[in-house]
């Protein structure tokens, strides 16, 4: 059995069957572990195993039973199973040609989602198709928002989840576009190249439009960041300079939200500051509720999934999560454990990025596909500090960890092989 087939199937079925998509992701991880090939446990891998066991045990101790799983709720299964999925999938490398197939499989779902979003926005489509059972359907296609008044959601029932999907679609599209350009200029692969380039530009446009339709006040900032990073990697000095200016202004605007400075608002464009200010005001009430709970029990936390009960009655509507990964973890497992968990994840992303760039320098070859995967992991990770949509969807959560597992496997196993060669 080939794990690539499972990963491609997980992508193709991603928007049609959450259940089958998760099963396929799990199958790919199991094949990686029990596929018959030997696995080398490096010193780093052994340390990572120990740390993940400790983290998993800490989460398990804080699990509140019976576990409540439902739309908008956070549960134990949103965390620990995904940690070990990443660990298992990263035990073996994946070839660039296989990564391309995974990317294209994902992008084939974008036109379908755009069609649903278009119908929802202009013709107010709303409904659900499932087969064969309502509770555990093999096919489950939902279109329209779960609540009246929400913006476009396509088949994800919530605009914040569609925002994640659209950001992923935009990054995958740009990654494949530049990879195809590299292939045709470097190796002369011209077969269907124009069609592939056109397809990636179309899926990028669809992803950007869906992102706009969600009404997200912060995701556009990350989309611009993505575009400028690609411009930095592949274009001239003028675009690089513009990218530095944009990122510097955006960072200053974010800092100004926490530590207001009078002259900053006069210096920065109102289009930048106004959106971030409105977004901060919308989220402030949730952040304050969460921080009050953290202050009352900072070291141990209140338990996973307890936030809705702890704040029940404080607002006129139910609040299911904190809208921030840092605050959610601090409420659930304590502030020290939350900071250590996020530092571990940040280290995985950061160290993998550094080693990936170092490998490119040693081999004198850009790994655009690896960069695209790491960009998805980094951008989605940062977005969770302003929202918590990743924990609202198992399928995109698996996809996020896959995007980190593949480059981590590629660089960690490459570095281990290099060290062994030098010893010999």
- Mind giving me the DSSP string for 286-335? HHHHHHHHHHHSTTT-S-BT-HHHHTTTSSSS---S-S-HHHHHHHHH-H
Residue-averaged pLDDT of the chain: 85
**Gap between the Cα atoms of 370 and 387, Å rounded:** 26
Q: Which domain holds residue 144?
A: 3-423
pLDDT for residue 231 is more than 60: yes
- CB-based contact 145:136 (threshold 8 Å): no
**Rounded-to-integer distance, Cα 12 and Cα 18, Å:** 11
How far apart, in whole angstroms, are the C-alpha atoms of residue 407 and residue 102? 14
Q: Write out pLDDT tens, residues 26-70.
A: 999 999 998 877 676 788 889 999 999 999 999 999 998 777 777
Name 329's Cβ contacts closer than 8 Å, sequence gap at least 6.
Answer: 337, 338, 341, 342
Least confident among 177-191, 201-215, 305-319, 324-338: 177-191
The Cα 33–Cα 41 span in angstroms is: 12
Buried b (16+ CB within 10 A) or exposed e, 199-219: bbeebbebbbbbbebbebbbb
Stretch among 30-44, 288-302, 388-402 having the lowest mean pLDDT:
30-44
Domain count, the chain: 1
Distances (CA, A) of 121 to 125, 133, 151, 168, 210: 8, 28, 8, 21, 10
Confidence at residue 73, expressed as pLDDT on a 0 to 100 scale: 84
Instruction: Find where tokens 């990025």 sit.
Output: 353
If DSSP codes are grouped into helix, strand and coil, which group holds residue 151?
A: coil
Instruction: List pLDDT tens digits, range 108-118.
Output: 999 999 999 99
pLDDT digits (tens, 9 = 90+) for 341-355: 999 999 999 999 999
pLDDT of amino acid 236: 55
pLDDT one-digit tens code per residue, 146-175: 676 678 999 898 899 999 999 999 999 999
pLDDT tens for each residue of 316-338: 888 889 999 999 999 999 999 99
The answer to whether 113 and 15 are in contact (CB under 8 A) is yes
CB-based burial label for 224 (10 Å; 0-12, 13-18, 19+): middle
Is 80 exceeded by the pLDDT of residue 257? no
Closest CA to 277 of 262, 256, 263: 256
pTM for the whole thing?
0.90
């Amino acid at each position: 059995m080939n794990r690539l087939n499972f990963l491609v199937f997980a992508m193709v079925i991603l928007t049609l069957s959450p259940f089958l998509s998760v099963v396929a992701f799990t199958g790919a991880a199991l094949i990686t572990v029990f596929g018959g090939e030997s696995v080398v446990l490096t010193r780093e891998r052994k340390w990572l195993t120990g740390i993940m066991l400790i983290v998993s045990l800490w989460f398990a101790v804080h699990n509140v039973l019976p576990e409540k799983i439902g739309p908008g709720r956070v549960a134990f299964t949103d965390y620990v199973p995904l940690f070990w999925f990443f660990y298992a999938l990263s035990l073996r490398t994946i070839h660039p040609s296989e990564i391309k197939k995974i990317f294209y499989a994902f992008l084939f779902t974008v036109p379908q989602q755009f069609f649903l979003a278009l119908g929802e926005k202009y013709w107010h489509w709303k409904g659900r198709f499932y087969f064969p059972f309502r509770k555990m359907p093999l096919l489950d296609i939902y279109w329209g928002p779960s609540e009246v008044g929400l913006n476009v959601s396509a088949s994800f029932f919530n605009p914040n989840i569609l925002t994640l999907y659209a950001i992923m679609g935009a990054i995958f599209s740009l990654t494949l576009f530049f990879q195809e350009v590299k292939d045709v200029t470097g190796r002369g692969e011209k077969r269907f190249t124009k069609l592939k380039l056109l397809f990636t530009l179309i899926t990028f446009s669809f992803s950007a439009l869906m992102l706009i339709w969600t009404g997200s006040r912060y995701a556009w900032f990350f989309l611009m960041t993505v575009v400028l990073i690609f411009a930095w990697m592949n274009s001239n000095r003028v675009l690089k300079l513009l990218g530095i200016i944009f990122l510097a202004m955006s960072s200053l605007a974010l800092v100004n939200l926490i530590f207001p400075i009078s002259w900053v608002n006069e210096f920065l464009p109102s289009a930048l500051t106004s959106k971030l200010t409105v977004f901060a005001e919308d989220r402030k009430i949730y952040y304050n509720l969460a921080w009050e709970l953290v202050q009352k029990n900072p070291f141990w936390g209140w338990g996973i999934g307890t936030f809705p009960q702890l704040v029940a009655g404080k607002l006129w509507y139910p609040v299911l999560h904190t809208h921030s990964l840092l605050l959610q973890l601090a409420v659930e497992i304590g502030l020290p454990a939350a900071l250590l968990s996020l530092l571990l994840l940040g280290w995985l992303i950061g160290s993998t990025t550094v080693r990936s760039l170092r490998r490119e320098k040693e081999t004198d070859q850009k790994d655009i596909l690896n960069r695209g995967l790491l960009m998805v992991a980094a951008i989605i990770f940062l977005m969770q500090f302003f929202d918590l949509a990743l924990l609202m969807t198992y399928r995109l959560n698996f996809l996020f960890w896959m995007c980190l597992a593949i480059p981590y496997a590629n660089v960690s196993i490459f570095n281990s092989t290099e060290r062994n060669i030098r010893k010999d």
